[in-house]
Amino acid sequence: MWFKNLQIYRLPAPWNYTPEQLEKALEPQSFVPSESNELLRQGWDAPRPNGGLVHTVNKQMLIMLGTEKKLLPASVINQVAKAKAAELEEQQGFPPGKKAMKDLKERVADELLPRAFTLRSNVWTWIDPVNGWLVVDAASPAKADDVVKLLLKAVDKMPLESLRVQKSPVAVMTGWLEADEAPYGFTIDQDTELRATGESRAAVRYVKHTLEPDDIRRHIAAGKQCTRLAMTWNDRISFVLTESLAIKGVKPLDVIKEGESPTYNDEERFDNDVVLMTGELAKMLADVVDALGGEAKA
């Protein structure tokens, strides 16, 4: 298993918090399936079937936030409420007023909720206590925030901070494109986004398209800056670096897959993937930070 999108946070390195301590801290917020009248339920779930809340491989920890959400579209509520309002109007000779209609919609929602379709989703988090990384596999900051808020609630005084670097990712990525030169260990791929900083917010996107240096420089000279840039690290992992310092579209390349050890069952394959992923990503993240001028200290 490989994380696809990285929302990146920092812990002290080393972080002297054992898997047993983390397991105990998460237990009060364990995931329990939602009741029939609940719209949303979240909690920590076991990363592996029949396992604990913290899965540890080679000192690396994996945890998983489980979410169950009932899907009850407002259009469905409105449709049923409208039909019931028509029945009431026929019975009493006049349509329900504004307050009565609001109460009617609330009753309809309560009636429909037990029959609503339940959507289950999981958000994985990797904790590297050796190198001080905490990475949430989430495409949006909002999903990562759900994980972080619940984690900070579970672990008292957890020394967690957002990753901060010395140089602006936008300025640095723009400089790489303008110079047509990636930092050592990286190559620039064929996807990027250049966006104007003025009110127009005009944007140019390249998707699987050769980035011609002269064209890129013209866009930069016109006031556009790079907000997303596809790159490859050491011919091993491709990804997209964003202006917010999130890393998206992570993909291990064939050179990594060729080095995988033979395994005999799902558990071994999973653990081997975790060892490989965490080892490679820890090195890659360190190189990304170095390419952006190093970490910004408080």
The residues spanned by each domain of the chain are: 6-72+116-162, 74-113, 169-291
Token pair of 14 as six digits: 């080393």
Instruction: Going residue by residue through the chain, which has 298 residues, state the pLDDT in tens, using 9 for 90 and above.
Output: 899 999 999 999 899 999 999 999 999 999 987 776 777 789 999 999 989 999 999 999 999 999 988 777 788 777 877 877 777 778 887 787 888 788 777 787 776 766 767 778 999 999 999 999 999 999 999 999 999 999 999 999 999 999 999 999 999 999 999 999 999 999 999 999 999 987 777 899 999 888 898 999 999 999 999 999 999 999 999 999 999 999 999 999 987 766 566 666 888 889 999 999 999 999 999 999 999 999 998 6
Cα separations in angstroms, 243 against 106, 142, 149, 193, 231:
42, 16, 23, 10, 14
- What local confidence, expressed as pLDDT, does residue 263 receive? 62
**Other CB atoms within 10 A of residue 145 CB:** 13
d(CA 93, CA 89): 5
d(CA 201, CA 194): 10
Q: Which long-range contacts (CB under 8 A, 24 or more apart) does 100-109 make?
A: 105/77, 105/78, 105/81, 108/77, 108/80, 108/81, 108/84, 109/72, 109/77
Q: Say which residue the tokens 């237990």 belong to.
A: 27
d(CA 181, CA 175): 8
